[in-house]
Amino acid sequence: MALDNLQGRVAWIFDEENYDVDLIVGVKNMKITDINELAGLAMQEYDPEFAKVIRKGDVIVGGANFGYGHPHYPSLRAMRHLGIAGIIAESFSPGFWRGEISMGTPLVSCPGILGAVSRWDEVVVDWAGGTVTNRTNGKVLAFEPLASADRIMLETGGLVPYLKSQMQTANA
Amino acid sequence: MGYTLAEKVLARVSGGTPVRAGDEVMAKPDFVIVYDFPGYTDVIFRQMKEDFGIHKVAEPDRYAIFIDHMVPTATPKEEELHIQTRNWCAEQGVPLYERRGIGHQVSVELGYATPGAFAVHFDGHISQLGAFGTLAIGLRRNILEAFVRERVSLKVPHTTRINLNGALQPGVMARDVFHHIVRVLGPSSCRFQVMEVGGPALAGISMEGRQTICGLAMFTGAVTAVINPDAISRAYTDGRSRIALAEESSDPDANYAAVHDIDLTTLEPIIVLPPNPANTRNLSDHIGIEVQSGYLGSCASGRLEELRIAAQILKGRRVKDGFSLHVIPTSQDIMAKAAAEGIISTLVEAGAFTSSPSCDYCFGRIATMSPGQKAVSTGTLNVPGRMGSPDSEIFLMNAAAVAAAAIEGRIADPRKYL
């Protein structure tokens, strides 16, 4: 099974280091579970028109140690629901990485990304080639390869399908 | 080239052949430790059966379940979660530890902090077992893997070594050492790595203090922390370890990702300002900020030496009128010892509110703050909303500084009371 390449526009750039992802839907909204309500709250502090202007398959770009702090799941649930296909960041905080890979959210650790993209640039993540290409300005960056367990988790769609696939393989 | 403690432990539990940082392994945890919490244990128990058709965990003695959050319960739904947990443990033959204290501390007391052992949890603060030479990693939701099969997939982490030199001045505590590490090296300095702490200054830092340093490791980006066993740690673990294992230490010529030296001699008490654990400053530069409540407790604090210093500061003094000071010993065992020493009566006479151990103060389930309120705290974390309203603020500091702030109702330097 091959992982589908990400191909979309840079819908937002969080350029700060140690970005707290809970801010995407707002700290006070962490207990909300209704996905439509969460989606309506996402990015309101940054761009109130966000849900209207993004397209399915768009990606988010982040800075170093993205997801630091005490990340909860609602923000990325909302972003996935809106159509965000993945996050490309300078680097990720381990807790956030583990949590979101287990949810099947593609994360791309790509040093140099902040200097290589502007909002609405068209980017492609080529999993097999190990590159992020900015189609708007032609820049190409290498990203850090996924551990095989992480790659299979993304291919299968998350933790539970990953474990099922592994246990079937082991029993075959 | 020698091996790190993490490489040695993961070699043993993944089949016995040597492994190096960066290798991907399937590792069998010696211990799988969790506390019951909605979205974690209830989901795991259901997924085991419904998604994987597994009705019994293999080797139930490898597992340990704690009831330490939502203690005591405040709603029928919370109690239902605990009932479900009790029933599951009874059905599975898995040890359950209820109301004994915060699980990360109680697991130490119960010997799960076995030197050389590999433990997993969903919560990263389990890293404090590393103070005893246990490799203990928080997997978040991937903990499910440890419930449905024998081994968990893991990339062997690199290790960053931090040598602590010098000695702590009065009023400066182990917690300050950790915050100083974050200040000097940065909040991503040990990202995806093991934070290994060593050096001559450790001789002057108790096991309790080492637990604090290791327990907060995630805020350097580390996946866990370890300290090579020494006479001080062995004095605690000898006769207490849950399984018979050879202890492991990093070799002197281990291949570290980085080695840092940090001198503690001039270190002052630190304050961590809102809104995140990277915001570390000298407390002396922030004296006088008015605060309404204080929390001395959590898995990162609330142990005897911290209760002792708070009692020393509060003895014969009073918590300021209108200030809410919550002093919550981290385990029943600690509480009993503190009571026997007279610490509890000193604190209560000074006006502190105290209760049996619970995790609930640390995440605002109780002692909840309103918008605009400020707390001084020895909790784990100061992100917005952690102890109540997202518009309240948390200032992290050592136990002595919390006690000093309680007297004055504002951030104060504890050293003048010592």
From chain A, the residues in CB contact with B141 under 8 A are 98-99, 102-103, 159
- For residue B405, which phi and psi values (nearest 5 degrees)? -65, -35
Read off the pLDDT band of A168 (50, 70, 90).
confident
* Pairing assessment for the beta strands B24-27 and B152-155 based on DSSP bridges: antiparallel
Average pLDDT over residues A6-22: 96
From chain A, the residues in CB contact with B139 under 8 A are 98
Q: B266: phi > 0 → left, psi -120 to 50 → alpha, else beta; which?
A: alpha
Beta-carbon contacts of B149 under 8 Å, excluding residues fewer than 6 positions away, are: A163, A166, A167, A170
Token pair recorded at residue A100: 């979101």
Q: Measured between alpha carbons, how far is residue B279 from residues A97, B157, B186, B276 in Å? A: 22, 26, 10, 6
* Pairing assessment for the beta strands B135-138 and B152-155 based on DSSP bridges: unpaired
The C-alpha angle with vertex B132 and arms to B400 and B333, in degrees rounded to 5, equals: 55
The one-letter amino acid at A165: S
Pick the CATH number of A6-171 from 3.30.750.24, 3.40.640.10, 3.20.19.10, 3.10.110.10: 3.20.19.10
Which pLDDT score is estimated for A1? 65
User: A164 in contact with B at a CB cutoff of 8 Å?
Assistant: yes
What is the rounded distance in angstroms from the CA atom of residue B225 to the CA atom of residue B4? Answer: 12
Chain A nearest-CA distance from B401, in A, is 23
Read off the pLDDT band of A164 (50, 70, 90).
very high
pLDDT tens per residue across span A59-111: 999 999 999 988 999 999 999 999 999 999 999 999 999 999 999 999 999 99
CA-based nearest residue to A90, from A58, A68, A121: A68
CA-based nearest residue to A7, from A157, A134, A153, A113: A134
CA-based nearest residue to B36, from B74, B72, B70: B70
Query: Is the peptide bond prior to B277 cis by the omega test (within 30 degrees of 0)?
Result: no
Read off the pLDDT band of A170 (50, 70, 90).
confident
Which pLDDT score is estimated for A97? 97
Q: What is the ipTM of this complex?
A: 0.93
Q: pLDDT truncated to tens, each residue of chain B (418 aa)?
A: 999 999 999 999 999 999 999 999 999 999 999 999 999 999 999 999 999 999 999 999 999 999 999 999 999 999 999 999 999 999 999 999 999 999 999 999 999 999 999 999 999 999 999 999 999 999 999 999 999 999 999 999 999 999 999 999 999 999 999 999 999 999 999 999 999 999 999 999 999 999 999 999 999 999 999 999 999 999 999 999 999 999 999 999 999 999 999 999 999 999 999 999 999 999 999 999 999 999 999 999 999 999 999 999 999 999 999 999 999 999 999 999 999 999 999 999 999 999 999 999 999 999 999 999 999 999 999 999 999 999 999 999 999 999 999 999 999 999 999 9
What is the rounded distance in angstroms from the CA atom of residue B121 to the CA atom of residue B130? Answer: 13
Burial of A167 from C-beta contacts in 10 A (0-12 / 13-18 / 19+) = middle
For chain B, the structural domain boundaries read 5-262, 270-411
- DSSP summary character for residue B26: E
Residue B318, SS3? coil
What is the rounded distance in angstroms from the CA atom of residue A149 to the CA atom of residue A155? Answer: 10
Which pLDDT score is estimated for B92? 98
Residue B48: how many other CB atoms lie within 10 Å? 19
Note the Cα B205 to chain centre separation in Å.
16
What is the rounded distance in angstroms from the CA atom of residue B42 to the CA atom of residue B57? Answer: 15
Decide: B256 and B162 in contact? Cβ < 8 Å: no
**Between A and B, how many CB-CB pairs are < 8 A?**
90
Write out the E strands in B129-226: 135-138, 152-155, 159-165, 194-198, 224-226
User: A111 in contact with B at a CB cutoff of 8 Å?
Assistant: no
Scanning B51-132, the segments in alpha helix (DSSP H) are 76-92, 103-109
Pick the CATH number of B5-262 from 3.40.50.300, 3.30.499.10, 3.30.565.10, 3.30.70.20: 3.30.499.10
**Interface touch B24/A147, C-beta < 8 Å:** yes
Helices (H), strands (E): how many in chain A? 6, 7
Beta-carbon contacts of B166 under 8 Å, excluding residues fewer than 6 positions away, are: B201, B263, B264, B265, B266
What is the rounded distance in angstroms from the CA atom of residue A60 to the CA atom of residue A12? Answer: 5
Average pLDDT over residues A136-161: 96
Read off the pLDDT band of A172 (50, 70, 90).
low
Nearest by CB to residue B383, choosing from A28, A69, A103, is: A69
What is the rounded distance in angstroms from the CA atom of residue B319 to the CA atom of residue B346? Answer: 12
Please determine whether the domains at B5-262 and B270-411 fall in the same fold group of CATH. Answer: yes
Which pLDDT score is estimated for B157? 98
B270-411: which CATH topology?
Answer: Aconitase; domain 3 (3.30.499)
* Pairing assessment for the beta strands A131-134 and A140-142 based on DSSP bridges: antiparallel
CA-based nearest residue to B290, from B361, B390, B372: B372
Helices (H), strands (E): how many in chain B? 12, 18
Type and span of the H or E element at B25: strand B24-27
Token pair recorded at residue B27: 């590792």
Beta-carbon contacts of A9 under 8 Å, excluding residues fewer than 6 positions away, are: A54, A55, A58, A59, A120, A121, A122, A123
For chain A, the structural domain boundaries read 6-171
Residue carrying structure tokens 């006070």: A28
From chain A, the residues in CB contact with B277 under 8 A are 69
- For residue B406, which phi and psi values (nearest 5 degrees)? -65, -35
List, as ranges, residues 179-198 from B with C-beta within 8 Å of A. 187-188, 191-192
List, as ranges, residues 66-95 from B with C-beta within 8 Å of A. none
Nearest by CB to residue B149, choosing from A64, A70, A167, is: A167
Task: Reduce the secondary structure of B372-407 to three states and give it as a string.
Answer: CCEEEECCCCCCCCCCECCCCEEEECCHHHHHHHHH
From chain A, the residues in CB contact with B24 under 8 A are 147-149
